[in-house]
Structure 1
Amino acid sequence: MSLALAVTAAFWGLVVVVAAGVMKRAALWRAGATAPVNLALLATIPKRYFVDLHDVVAREPEMARTHVFVAGGAIGAFGVIALNYGLMLYWPLLDWALLALAALMTVGAVRAVKRRMNAPARLSRGAWQRFPQLLLLTGAGLLVAGAALLLSQGVGGEAQAAEGASAAAPVAGGFALLLILPMLAGALPLALGIGSGGPLKHAFAGLLHLAFHPRQARFDKRAAQGERTALAPLDLPAKEYGVEKPVQFAWNRLLSFDACVQCGKCEAACPAFAAGQPLNPKKLIQDLVVGMAGGTDAAYAGSPSPGLKVGAHEGSPDAPVVGKLVEPQTIWSCTTCRACVQECPMLIEHVDSIVSLRRHRALVEGDIPGKAPETLDNLRETATQGGHDNAARANWAIDLGVKLAEPGVKTDVLVIAGEGAFDMRYQRTLRAFIRTLKAAGIDFALMGPRERDCGDTARRLGDEATFERLARENIAAISALSFARIVTPDPHVFHSLANEYPALGGRWEVLHHTTFVEQLVAGGRLKVGQSAEQREVTYHDPCYLGRYNAGYEAPRKLLKTIGIAVVEMERAGPRSRCCGGGGGAPLTDIPGERRIPDMRMDDARATGAGLVAVACPQCTAMLEGVTGNRPDVVDVVELVAATLEVK
């Protein structure tokens, strides 16, 4: 057998192994619940891979270059082999291309191996530690094979394609196999691992995941910036109550779990993990992979969820996830801040899966820890989280001479206060916001007692029924009023009304108060002065304004306009650390080693700032709850309103 024929045989052998592995994984995905299948989306893979995915990977430039070398070299090299040897063309010119691409792959693999010598703690070990070594062996093997193929074709002379060898360099069958053995030694274990859940499965699952992503709006630049989840109303009459078993996840979400590369970027970003609560997003995704395929978590070689042992959990496609496979406190530790989703290079949506699991616990099991059940009862009975008299929702503004919205009475701005209306501290912020509206001459009205809680907390806790009831009541009440736009100081209200109510029929222009006030200042309607604040100021990005709605610029522009130069925290903007107040986390109150708001205040202290500017009532409450010597906490609009008095 000539070397060329040996490469042809090896190539088709690997194709059979890879195809069998992909079919085995696909059978696991197909066991999931139905979801739309549009084969035309396969054509979107190149754009989504080179633009959307690499936009995330490029945040770590060194690793991005390594990925380009390894993936580009490997795909190119095997593409050339498929063309030249799979189709038995045996063109010497393509052997030169193979040699160049194999060299590129080898350089990338060397970089990957070097990185693993001093690997960050977030990276999984085990099979993932051996992965770069197998890639290096494959790349080096391709180099050897490529060089031998060029020699066997007779470099500088006529190719004898039919024989696959030159008269000057005859290659015996045994020697031919010996030459391609290094390539097979690396490529064959990688290919075999696809079916058994090895590292290379991510390459195929990841590409298909890009095409059939559960949240297609993620790739639509025309879509609203805030469409950051795939949460949708449940078909409650059909008894659709979230996810209990792996097979109840949609098939394309099961596919997304297999796309995970165990890089641990989600782990490093997760505030619950950093606080020592029993949640590691990476471990959770790998647990769901175990549940999809069946087995135990004993092979997991990454950081565990804090306080939980690895190897003590097992699952199967038709067995409940929460209990034996995933501990209940794991899903209740999540603040739904989306830091994990923001950092994931494979674009996996961890938060949606967590909420899906919570829905079953809330709607079927009725098993929610801490004070959350009491809060949900309050929402059902009073439409407020604290069990307040909803008629008192506008009492904080009684002395301000503010009108309340009434059907048939037109107004420009409808102000929805949110639950901060019942908090004495946040009422100061609301009053400051009213002063700015009056100073700008805005025609506005409070929704007041017509307002219900937006339902954000209920939905994140998994009580979809209560969310939908509150949402429909709010939609009916808002739709009866005449206004041009809604403005709210609460990012959770903003996100719910702007991005989640449309699925239930509520569609309006909704703005966060920092965006609206910044527009007033930029348009010249609101004249502000320079702040008298002498301390350095840092700004904390609320998760539901920032990561959920890309609302990073308006608060900073406002602070700059009034003469405040923001000293940024190390984790700011898209990588801001959560205050710990979202997702019902303060209600479930899962214990950890530290409190998330304490960690965030440490971030603020590290800047040397004496004041933390915020733009969310939950952030205000969580950060002001930090004890000890700390910076003061003030809403951006309070700082703006203060300049109206000193200008």
Structure 2
Amino acid sequence: MSAAASSLNLLITVLFWLSVAGLTVGMARRAALWRAGREAPVAWLGLLAIPKRYFVDLHHVVARDPYIARTHVATAGGAIAAMALVALNYGLMLYAAALNTAIGLCALLMLVGVLFVWHRRRTPPARLSRGAWMRLPWMLAAFALGLLALGLIPLQLVSGASALATVVLLGLGAWTLTIGATRGGPMKHALAGLLHLAFHPRPERFKQVAGGTPTTALKVLKLEQGELGVGKPVEFRWNQLLSFDACVQCGKCEAACPAFAAGQPLNPKKLIQDMVTGMAGGSDANFAGSPYPGIPLGGHQGSPLEAIVPGLISSDTLWSCTTCRACVQECPMLIEHVDAIVDLRRHQTLQFGAVPGKGPEVLANLRETGSAGGFDLGVRYNWALDLNVRQISAGHPVDVLLLVGEGGFDMRYQRSLRALVKVLQAAQVDFAVLGSLENDCGDVARRLGDEATFQNLAQQMIAQLSAFTFKRIVTADPHVMHCLRNEYPALGGHYEVLHHTGFMASLVSQGKLKPRAAADSEQRFTYHDPCYLGRYNGETEAPRELLKLLGLSLHEMERHGMRGRCCGGGGGAPLTDIPGKQRIPDIRIHDARTVRADTVVVACPNCTAMLEGVVGPRPEVRDIAELLAAALEH
């Protein structure tokens, strides 16, 4: 072995251990930022689950974009394998030629991936961050070329110049992957991301059975212990702070966000990066992505102990969110944006009562009357007086308890509810309603951050339901379904809750209903997925199956199913009413016009109200129950 080759081996060993030391110190400093947050359970066994969560759960999301999936597999896979071999061959000073060859082959795979990264960055989509991210392909390429030279240049050909070039290339890459990453550089996501998978704030996401209900319930605030949401970065749980550091700034959340598309001052990607800025201290002047619409960069700053609102973000940013979870659905790093936003809202609401628009009036109505509109609960079912719908009573069990939610007070949606009742009666379903005993489920209060009002309403509802005997609850409101099915269990309410689309589909498939072909089957239909039915509860097929049973062919909008576009009606957004350049429902109706739909089929009272509120020529909006009821009459 030549003197140059021996020197190279020794230099690589020194560089490896210096990198390990730098990474260790840097990670300790970064971890100190996370540990400043509130306590959260530490499940150390999560470390053993990282491979499964990385290769299955994370890549299940990444694989939606085949280009990026293949790029990630080649780049990350080649780099990890090569670094593992370097640790073995140079960290342990084996200096085996065979291991060098393996390092070179892995580096070649990494280099192929880096070429795809470079190509992507030549003309990056608007959602991608620039700045340091534009230099990342070159830094990764330097590392890959250094590994390639290390692995494939025969030892007898190594010279002083080639040894120096190899060390310089590897040094640039090592800096990017270690010190640069722990100081907040682009590769920070790789280190924080793996730990985020191990200590995820919502670990139940990884236990979800394929095709089952997503785990989307908000965490209960322990009000009696003084929990009032998050006002400062250090008031997030430590694993939430860790999750913010896992952001790769790909902007998929930005591209999916209905509020951002409408020009409201919200960008989920920037919000997560603002939380990182607040955690580490600084301003948003150096953010290299799209700003919040209408809010220029450089005007906000924060630190771990400073108030997030309005120093780091404006209150309008918080209240623009519809809680539709489109950002969470698209995030390849599995970050929970909505949980963070609701935590921030809780502090604004519970600590300051700072809810904009009609929010305070609605919250007051909920507290005083049990209805968002301040209505007398006794009139919730007036629309059903002529339909002979019975009210449930103690000692008289029923199969189905029908809950209608706030839609029962809306004259337009009462038509949909009447259609649903006629369907249930035609199928001879044994059902009853709560009548004047049904108060609001608490959904709007909780999304607006008023956890106290939500818990009071939920406890009232649970107490009412405990007095009666029924097998299951059916509702036409996905928000009611979500609250009772997913969020009431934490307060002691456990029920089987079905959405009317799935229940009606089962009635037809079981032969209990025999609809005739729809009279208007020649029209073009499209189906709009409610966020709280699809993304929140995983139900996208039952409505489509029911429409198929009615003989209606669907013309799907570009964004549908689990990736459907929000109508703008969730999260209390119509109440806070933050202005933008256009309205979210206008964008959704544009989607329907694009597929030349004559009718938009809906399955949620919020969607009905929002889409029918679009002015000008538009498709007809009809609830799926109305279509089934009409098919039974023909």
TM-score by length of 2: 0.98
Q: 1:164 aligns to what?
A: none
Aligned to 1:604: 592
Q: Which residue of 1 is the match for residue 609 of structure 2?
A: 621
Tell whether 2:228 aligns with 1:241: yes
Q: Residue 115 of structure 1 aligns with which residue? A: 120
Judge which range, 99-108 or 131-140, deviates more. Answer: 131-140
For 1:561, the equivalent position in structure 2 comes to 549
Match of 1:139 in 2: 144
Matched, 1:338 2:325: yes
For 1:235 and 1:518, locate their aligned partners in 2 and report how far apart those are by CA, in whole Å: 39
Asked if 1:192 is matched to 2:179, the reply is: yes
Amino acid at match of 1:318: L
Corresponding position of 1:162: none
Match of 1:176 in 2: 163
SS in 2 for 1:108: helix
- Distance apart, 1:147 and its partner CA: 2.0
Give the direction of change, closer, same or farther, for the CA distance of 1:19–1:547 in structure 2 (3 Å limit).
same
Using the TM superposition, give the Cα deviation of residue 227 of structure 1 relative to its aligned residue in structure 2, in angstroms.
Answer: 4.5
Partners in 2 of 1:266 and 1:179 — Cα distance? Answer: 39
Bigger Cα displacement from structure 2, 195-204 vs 218-227: 218-227
Letter paired with 2:488 = Y
User: Match for 1:364: what amino acid?
Assistant: Q
Deviation string for 1:524-577 (max 9, x for gaps)?
112211111131000000000001011100110111101100100011111111
Distance in structure 1 (CA, Å) of the matches to 2:388 and 2:187 = 66
In structure 2, the residue matched to 1:8 is: 13
Post-superposition offset of 1:183 = 1.8
- Give 2:275's aligned residue: 288
Give 1:364's aligned residue. Answer: 351
SS at match of 1:2: helix
Residue 225 of structure 1: CA displacement? 3.8
The corresponding residue for 1:215 is 202
Partner letter of residue 579 of structure 2? P
In 2, Cα distance between equivalents of 1:248 and 1:230: 20
Structure 2 residue runs without a partner (length 5+): 1-5
Structure 1 residues 220-251: Cα deviation after superposition (integer angstroms, max 9, x where no partner): 13499445335222111121100001101000
Q: Residue 23 of structure 2: which of 1, 18, 21 is its match?
A: 18
| Residue of structure 2 equivalent to 1:585 | 573
Contact persistence 2:217–2:487 (CA under 8 A): no
The answer to whether structure 1 residue 548 and structure 2 residue 536 are counterparts is yes
How many Å apart are 1:389 and its aligned residue? 0.4
2:418 to 418, 431, 448: 431
2:396/2:469 contact within 8 Å kept: yes
- Tell me how far 1:408 sits from its aligned partner: 1.3
Q: How far apart are 1:175 and its partner, in Å?
A: 5.4
Amino acid at match of 1:176: A
Residue 59 of structure 1: aligned partner? 64
Letter in 2 for 1:64: A
Q: Superposed, which structure 2 residues align to 1:305-320 within 5 Å?
A: 305-320=292-307
Q: Deviations over 1:574-595 (max 9, x none)?
A: 1111000000000000000000
1:539 aligned partner: 527
Q: Contact conserved, 1:375 with 1:385, CA < 8 A, in 2? A: yes
Aligned to 1:30: 35
Aligned twin of 2:251: 264
Q: Per-residue deviation at 1:289?
A: 0.1
Task: Give the one of 304, 309, 312 matched to 1:322.
Answer: 309
Matches within 5 A, 1:504-543: 504-533=491-520, 534-543=522-531
- Deviation digits for residues 468-499 of structure 1 (CA, Å, limit 9, x no counterpart): 00000000101111111000000000000000
Distance 1:194 1:26 in 2: 13
- Is the 1:134–1:190 contact (alpha carbons within 8 Å) kept by the matching residues of 2? no
Say whether residues 1:638 and 2:626 are aligned partners: yes
Superposed displacement of residue 278, structure 1: 0.1
Deviations 1:120-167 (A, max 9, x none): 00000001111122111111121112223xx11xxxxxxxxxxxxxxx
Q: Please state whether the residue corresponding to 1:213 is helix, strand or coil.
A: coil
Asked if the contact 2:214/2:538 (under 8 Å) is kept, the reply is: no
Partner Cα distance (2:387, 2:90) in 1: 81
Match of 1:275 in 2: 262
Tell me, yes or no, if the aligned pair for 2:176 and 2:187 is still in contact at 8 Å. Answer: no
Checking the alignment, whether the CA contact within 8 Å between 1:214 and 1:230 is kept in structure 2 is: no
Q: Which of 356, 364, 373 is equivalent to 1:386?
A: 373
Question: Cα distance 1:170–1:433, how it changes in 2: closer, same or farther (>3 A)?
Answer: closer
Which shifted more, 532-541 or 255-264?
532-541
Q: Structure 1 pair 265/169, CA: closer, same or farther in 2 (3 Å)?
A: closer
Give the Cα separation in 2 of the matches to 1:190 and 1:516.
52
CA distances 1:416-460 after superposition (whole Å, capped 9, x unpaired): 011000001000011100111111111000111111101000000
* 1:89 match: 94
How far does residue 49 in structure 1 lie from its aligned partner after superposition? 0.3
In 1, are the aligned partners of 2:528 and 2:600 still within 8 Å (CA)?
yes
Q: Deviations over 1:241-272 (max 9, x none)?
A: 00001101000000000000000000000000
SS of 2:128's partner is coil
CA contact (8 A) 1:536 1:610 kept: yes
Q: Show CA shifts across 1:264-292 (max 9, x none).
A: 00000000000000000000000000000
The letter for the 1-side match of 2:45 is A
1:291–1:316 CA contact under 8 A, matched in 2: yes
Asked whether the 8 Å contact 2:447–2:572 carries over to 1, the reply is yes
Question: Hey, what's the Cα distance between the residues in 2 that align with 1:147 and 1:388?
Answer: 78
SS of the equivalent of 2:399 reads strand
How far apart are the structure 2 equivalents of 1:189 and 1:446?
63
Letter in 1 for 2:253: C
Cα offset, 1:108, TM superposition:
0.5
* Whole-Å separation in 2 of the counterparts to 1:223 and 1:230: 18
Aligned equivalents of 2:614 and 2:217: distance in 1?
A: 33
**1:82-115 Cα deviation digits (max 9, x unpaired):** 0011011111111111010000111100110111
Does residue 77 of structure 1 match 2:82?
A: yes
CA contact (8 A) 1:227 1:499 kept: no
SS in 1 for 2:220: coil
Contact 1:217 1:223 in 2 (8 A): no
CA RMSD of aligned residues (A): 1.2
Q: Percent identity?
A: 60
In structure 1, the gaps of 5 or more residues are: 153-167
Q: 2:351 corresponds to which letter in structure 1?
A: V
Alignment of 1:490 onto 2:477:
yes
| In structure 2, distance between residues paired with 1:362 and 1:520 | 43
**Cα separation, 2, equivalents of 1:184 and 1:498:** 54
The CA distance in 1 between the partners of 2:594 and 2:514, in whole Å, is: 33
CA–CA separation in structure 2 for the residues paired with 1:566 and 1:55: 27
**Which residue identity is paired with 1:112?**
V
User: 276-285 vs 293-302, which deviates more?
Assistant: 293-302
Equivalents in 1 of 2:268, 2:427: separation in Å? 45
Q: Counterpart amino acid of 1:468? A: Q
What CA distance in whole angstroms lies between the structure 2 residues aligned with 1:119 and 1:95?
35
Q: How many residues align?
A: 628
Hey, what does 1:418 align to over in structure 2?
405
Code of the aligned partner of 1:596: I
Structure 1 length-normalised TM: 0.96
Q: Secondary structure at the match of 1:529?
A: coil
